């Protein structure tokens, strides 16, 4: 009887330890924002990896604007995600971490720029076209089967085109003036088109403790792939690295400040296709895990 009692008491203690492990070890809640044509089911592996590495972590994959609904304008999505994320932030006294994949990385930037009291600690941008997209990918051909990349601006840089998320970050290096005039999302986020909220947005974005940029040359969707690290084409389609971008030099939205603070981590991984970043254990162990404590 005594032996049985000891076993039951020990089992209960182990259960209680498991329940309280996340709080004891200081694991913060993790919120995952999906990309274009994705939804929660694509992130089951990512959730499992987080739980295995940091048992008890509260992981939330936001079930909103899934699949075809992910084509809605990015500002509409930012507002929707904000309404779901904000209560989670308020309940997390020590802050939260954001993992944002592909288009989701741009949505998260919108959230971070427009929420003055967010408590995001690590913002992990996973293969996201942070400097824009310009390439003849399969996704582009699906939407614009009769257009080459050089002609997509006719659609994207119009009032109708800006109602599609993919056009909100289409960045044609040969149509610079049209981009600056028509882009109602990326040009504003990057501070490339001046607006009255620039100072406030920069201040809000700089509330994060760490910005983690992850991408690689074999992605196959993000074009150029360096956009995942804030690099992009010049008019000759030669890559201009992040540090040589005008908005970096002007520190328009705080990227230069983050870099100077030592709060920018950049990872380049070869051999990873776009749809596999969030299920690749090597990516998680080498680029993500350490920023989720």
Run of H or E including 60 = strand 59-61
Among 97, 219, 228, 252, the one annotated catalytic: 219
Tokens 């196959």: give the residue: 220
What are the phi and psi torsion angles at 113 (to 5°)?
-75, -30
What are the phi and psi torsion angles at 28 (to 5°)?
-90, 155
| CA-to-CA separations, 77 to 74, 85, 142, 196, 215, in angstroms, rounded | 5, 12, 22, 22, 23
* Active-site residue flag, 127: no
What are the phi and psi torsion angles at 189 (to 5°)?
-60, -40
Task: Of 125, 109, 52, give the one whose Cα is nearest residue 277.
Answer: 125
* Active-site residue flag, 251: no
Question: Taking the mean position of all CA atoms in its chain, how far away is CA 141?
Answer: 24
* Active-site residue flag, 195: no
Among 34, 54, 229, 274, the one annotated catalytic: 274
Question: Percent helix, strand and coil across the chain, each rounded to 5?
Answer: 50, 15, 35
Question: Taking the mean position of all CA atoms in its chain, how far away is CA 148?
Answer: 27
Among 47, 102, 125, 128, the one annotated catalytic: 102
| CA-to-CA separations, 279 to 147, 259, 283, in angstroms, rounded | 32, 28, 8
Name the residues annotated as catalytic. Answer: 102, 219, 274
């Amino acid at each position: 009887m005594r032996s049985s009692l000891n076993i039951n008491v020990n089992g209960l203690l182990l259960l209680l330890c498991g329940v309280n492990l996340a709080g004891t070890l200081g694991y913060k809640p993790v919120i995952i924002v999906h990309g274009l044509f994705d939804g929660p089911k694509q992130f089951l592996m990512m959730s499992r990896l987080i739980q295995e590495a940091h048992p008890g972590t509260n992981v939330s994959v936001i079930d909103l604007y899934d699949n075809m609904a992910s084509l809605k304008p990015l500002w509409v999505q930012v507002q929707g995600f904000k309404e779901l994320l904000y209560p989670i932030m308020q309940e997390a006294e020590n802050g939260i971490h954001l993992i944002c994949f592909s288009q989701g990385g741009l949505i998260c930037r919108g959230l971070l720029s427009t929420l003055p009291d967010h408590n995001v600690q690590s913002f992990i941008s996973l293969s996201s076209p942070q400097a824009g997209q310009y390439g003849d990918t399969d996704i582009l051909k699906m939407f614009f089967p009769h257009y080459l990349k050089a002609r997509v601006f006719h659609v994207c840089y119009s009032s109708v085109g800006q109602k599609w998320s993919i056009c909100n970050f289409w960045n044609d290096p040969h149509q610079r003036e049209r981009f600056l005039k028509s882009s109602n999302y990326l040009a504003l986020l990057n501070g490339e088109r001046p607006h009255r909220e620039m100072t406030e947005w920069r201040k809000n974005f700089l509330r994060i403790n760490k910005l983690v940029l992850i991408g690689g040359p074999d992605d196959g969707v993000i074009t150029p792939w360096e956009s995942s690290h804030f690099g992009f084409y010049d008019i000759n389609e030669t890559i201009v690295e992040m540090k040589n971008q005008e908005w970096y030099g002007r520190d328009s939205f705080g990227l230069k400040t983050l870099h100077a603070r030592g709060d920018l981590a950049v990872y380049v991984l070869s051999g990873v296709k776009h749809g596999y970043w969030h299920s690749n254990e090597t990516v998680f162990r080498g680029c993500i895990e350490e920023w989720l404590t």
